[in-house]
Structure 1
């Protein structure tokens, strides 16, 4: 989704908007409740909302670092750097090694990449849930995405688009500097 980004206007958020952003992030990612004030300070450090023209959405920046992205009319997702820094913040899936090349080009994750040998989906993850994507045998994630199908459906059908890729290693967000 954020393969290449084209940023537009940048606006400093008011304190009420920062509180709303923090509340939304904690609601979606309860594991961040204890550290959200470190990530997004209460006072003294400005938080910016950056409009993104291509793809449409909003980037949230603190200390010149983009922490969160919100595609138009969608959930708030952490950037891959944030997902790496706080590994237990969201549900995780593992893809097989054959999926790496396509995933690093921004392709959506197909169900066979999760159901074949080397891939796994732990527990029940409903459709629409943000997930971090790992590769078998590697500890660091390679992408952040949104479940298109539930884990049960993926296991049963073993076909189709399973995860919509939002941000991945080496994409425009990874390379972007404010």
Structure 2
């Protein structure tokens, strides 16, 4: 049985309201084991014998729609993938403040042309690295909350669904999904 992390987009942060107890119940009822949520923002760690991340995401999306009446995009990463993200941040050694580091998880790898055209809005100091289905973000002059280089901006410019987590959450989720 492998460990997975489901990342719900826009849950309890200005979007759909989903109780974590409901989320644990839904994921458990889908036949997954050792289901745990992290924080209140739609992070679920679970064990499953299903090895298809898209099928896992689709099942959770359908359960949320059927039982809660909400349309919520779900992105799934394996425990191994999350460990690679947590160990592969190109900005981690440059920044002591974890609130200035984030990762945007993408539903699919964006088109090369969209990545090549991606630019930080004028006047902002943000570093980013697109690596497959993740965008590593570094806000050296301040927080994500004051920037225009946001999850919505990335979705628009890259043409894919995204959900962003802070560095502390990424590391905690990797730890929770470790064997």
Regarding TM over 0.5, the answer is no
- TM-score normalised by length of structure 1: 0.32
Higher helix share: 2
TM-score, normalised on structure 2? 0.32
